[in-house]
Amino acid sequence: MRQYRFLALLVTLVHCTLTRAFSSFPSSTPHRRISIQRFADSKSSFLERFSLSSKTPSTEKDETFVSTSQLQSTTKAPSSPSPYVQFAQTYPFANNILIATTKTAAADFLAQVVIAQTPVAELDLQRSFLFCLFGALYLGGFQYLYQVQIFKKIFDVDRFTQQTWQEKLQDKEGLQALVAQTALDLTVLTLIYLPAFYIFKASVFSGSSVPAEWVASGIDTYQTNFVKDETDLIRVWLPADLVCFSVPLYLRLPVRHIVSFVWTAYLSFARGGH
C-alpha cells in the first residue's frame, strides 16, 4: 500500500513538472497550455481517486469487523439454567424433600444389599418403606425448616459463612455462634431425631394401628439403645456439624446430605431390621 501511494505521488510530481515546463515555452500557444493544464488536472484527480480507493477496502473491512462483532455481542443470548436448577431455585423445600427421600432410600438399599449382602429378591420392603417415609418427613421436611429457616433467624449465619477460614478463626462472635449451632443441632438429634426414628420404625414393624403404641414402643427402644446411639451420633455429627455450619449456605445441606448418607446406611444396618 505504501508503494502505491509513493508511486502516485511520484507520478503527480512528474506531471506537475511537465506542466510547468510546457507552460514556460514561448512557442506554446494559450490553447495548448490550457489543454496541457486540463490534462494535468485530470491526472491529479484520477490519482486522488486512486489513493482514496486504496484506503477503502481496509476501512470497510474494519467497519465490517466491528459491526459483526457488535452484532455477535448483542445477539449472544445468556445461557439459561437447566430445568433441575430452575426447579431447585423455585421450590427449595420440595427439592430438599426429593433429595432426602432418594438419599435415605439409597442408603437403606446399600445397607441391605452391600453391607448385609441380602439378595435383591429378598429385600425387606417394609424396612425400605420406613426409611423412605422417615427421609421425606423428618430429613426432608423438619430438618430443612429448623436448619435453614430457624437457624437463619437465631444466628447471623450469612456473615460468618462468607468469610475466609482465616477470618473465621479470628471471629469470636462467629465461633461462638458456630458452637451454639452445633450444640443445638446435637440436642435436636438426641432428643428429636433418634426418638422420631424409633417411633417411625414402630409404626412400620409393630403391626399396630394405634399411634400411642408406636410412641411407647419407640421411646422404649430409644432408651434401651441410648448410650450406644448417642456415642456414635457425637462421633459422627460433632465434626460434621462444625463443617456444615462453617461452609456457605448453598453448601450446607449438600454437605450434610453426604454425611447423612453414610450415617443413614450405618443406622439402617445397625437399627433398621426387625
- The grid coordinates of residue 231 equal 456415642
Can you give the pLDDT at residue 71?
46
Helix intervals (H) in the chain: 2-24, 30-75, 83-90, 92-110, 125-134, 143-144, 151-154, 157-161, 165-170, 172-188, 194-205, 211-224, 226-244, 249-271
C-alpha Rg value of the chain to the nearest Å:
42
Q: Predicted confidence band at 36 (pLDDT cuts at 50, 70, 90)? A: very low
Q: Which of 15-29, 125-139, 147-161, 203-217 has the lowest mean pLDDT?
A: 15-29
Average pLDDT over residues 18-27: 45
pLDDT of 119 > 70? The answer is yes
Confidence of residue 126 (pLDDT cuts 50, 70, 90): confident
Report residue 32's pLDDT band, with 50, 70 and 90 as the boundaries. Answer: very low
- Position 106 scores a pLDDT of 92
Tell me, what's the pLDDT at 226? 95
Share of the chain above pLDDT 70, in %: 70
Output the pLDDT for position 41: 54
**CA 248, 253, 257: angle at the middle one, nearest 5?**
135
pLDDT one-digit tens code per residue, 173-221: 889 999 999 999 999 999 999 999 999 888 888 777 888 999 999 999 9
Among 12-16, 209-213, 222-226, the minimum mean pLDDT is found in: 12-16
What's the CA gap between 232 and 130, in Å, rounded? Answer: 21
Distances (CA, A) of 250 to 10, 135, 203, 272: 74, 20, 34, 31
More confident residue, 24 or 251: 251
Cell of 146: 429448623
Residues 6+ apart with CB under 8 A from 63: none
What would the mean pLDDT of 68-79 be, rounded to a whole number?
52
pLDDT of residue 184: 93
Average pLDDT over residues 17-36: 46
Interval 234-251: pLDDT, tens: 999 999 999 989 888 778
Task: Pick the most confident of 60-64, 134-138, 178-182, 265-269.
Answer: 178-182
Nearest to 12 by CA among 53, 63, 58, 46: 46
Q: Looking at per-residue confidence, does 126 or 253 come out higher?
A: 126
Dist CA 134 CA 199 (whole Å) = 10
